[in-house]
Amino acid sequence: MGSWRIGLIGYGEVGRIFSAGLQPRAAWIGAWDQKFSDPVQCDEPLAHAAAQGVEACEGLAALCGQSTLLISAVTASSTLAVAQDAARHIRPGTVFLDINSASPGTKQQAAALIERGGGRYLEAGVMTSVPPHGIRAPMLLGGPHALGLLPVLQAWGMSAHVASERVGVASATKMCRSVMIKGLEALVLESYTAARAYGVEDTMLATLAETFPGIDWQAQGSYFFSRVAQHGQRRAEEMREAANTVREAGFHPVMAEAIAARHEAMAAQAHAGQFNGVPAESPWQAYADRLIAAIPGPEQPHAAD
């Protein structure tokens, strides 16, 4: 067991995965999440933390007071606010590993706050979905402390590589990739659901398989629908940061903004209970049928014969 005392800021899906994967490497694992203090939402995350041997701290100040490594794993829209709060309480020399999906400009602002507070800021761009890989998810690091901390993270089993000693390079790589990956998700949601409404999905998927034979379009579609139904709001927030990334480069983020809107629409349907009772492993058609059923008014597309 190592001497690092690891504090997770955010105890959602990613925070839980990282806490479980890093626990054998740490002398102590703690966490803080806004849900801990919410009487309506606190029971499940507190019970989960207790069962996993993770100390649920009463606030961010308490977590900062006990940690030598802080991992910020919150929603994209909370990235800067969390850094602002942590900078007020961080102990000198504490490493602040920011794995959130945020634009280079946001990461640079967060870095300045943490460094002024006495911490050591380290940005990370997680280059694929965390759940299948756990702490081994490929990760690009950035900032002046990246080279010094790289051996520690690699010794823990993390697939980390240094992108640059400048903050912003890793996040730029991550966010530009997200335009493609989250954009593909948005395209699949829209294309597949419309094809299902017209009754032409089998023919349409067959043409995709002819054009891109290396992709299992049925399985990929089911995975995309399931993940966006579960995490559409988080993906929408990430795409707004991707839009900021494009904007910071001097371009108008036409596609990134549209992708964010598609993910947010899916999140709204999930929040309204449209997918209640649909198992996560269901084929994409189960999700598409719920979306089609939610179309207002008597008019429906004319299905192909």
| pTM summary value | 0.89
**Are residue 16 and residue 152 in the same domain, yes or no?**
yes
Residue 209 lies in a domain: yes
CA distance 139 to 99: 9
Q: Which residues contact 255 (CB under 8 A, 6 or more apart)?
A: 179, 183
CA distance 180 to 204: 21
Last residue of a domain, one of 150, 167, 184: 167
Residue 55 lies in a domain: yes
**Are residue 157 and residue 180 in the same domain, yes or no?**
no
Residue 216, domain CATH: 1.10.1040.10
**Are residue 65 and residue 156 in the same domain, yes or no?**
yes
**Are residue 159 and residue 237 in the same domain, yes or no?**
no
**Are residue 157 and residue 17 in the same domain, yes or no?**
yes
**Are residue 64 and residue 155 in the same domain, yes or no?**
yes
- Strand order of the sheet with strand 69-72? 55-56, 28-32, 5-9, 69-72, 95-98, 120-126, 139-142, 160-164
**Are residue 115 and residue 225 in the same domain, yes or no?**
no
Last residue of a domain, one of 117, 151, 167: 167
**Are residue 231 and residue 152 in the same domain, yes or no?**
no
Cα angle at 52 between 49 and 4, to 5 degrees? 95
CB burial class (10 A; 0-12, 13-18, 19+) of residue 52? middle
**Are residue 201 and residue 123 in the same domain, yes or no?**
no
Owning domain of residue 162: 5-167
Number of domains in the chain: 2
Per-residue DSSP letters for 124-192?
EEE-S-HHHHGGGS-EEEESTTHHHHHHHHHHTT--EEEEESSTTHHHHHHHHHHHHHHHHHHHHHHHH
Residue 179 lies in a domain: yes
Residue 301 lies in a domain: no
pLDDT, one tens digit for every residue, the chain (305 residues): 569 999 999 999 999 999 999 999 999 999 999 999 999 999 999 999 999 999 999 999 999 999 999 999 999 999 999 999 999 999 999 999 999 999 999 999 999 999 999 999 999 999 998 988 999 999 999 999 999 999 999 999 999 999 999 999 999 999 999 999 999 999 999 999 999 999 999 999 999 999 999 999 999 999 999 999 999 999 999 999 999 999 999 999 999 999 999 999 999 999 999 999 999 899 999 999 999 999 987 655 555 54
CA distance 179 to 261: 13
Per-residue DSSP letters for 208-238?
HHHH-TTS-HHHHHHHHHHHHHHHHHHHHHH
Q: Name the strand (E) or helix (H) holding 291.
A: helix 284-293
**Are residue 163 and residue 214 in the same domain, yes or no?**
no
Last residue of a domain, one of 167, 184, 202: 167
**Are residue 112 and residue 223 in the same domain, yes or no?**
no
Residue 131, domain CATH: 3.40.50.720
Q: Determine the pLDDT at residue 305.
A: 47
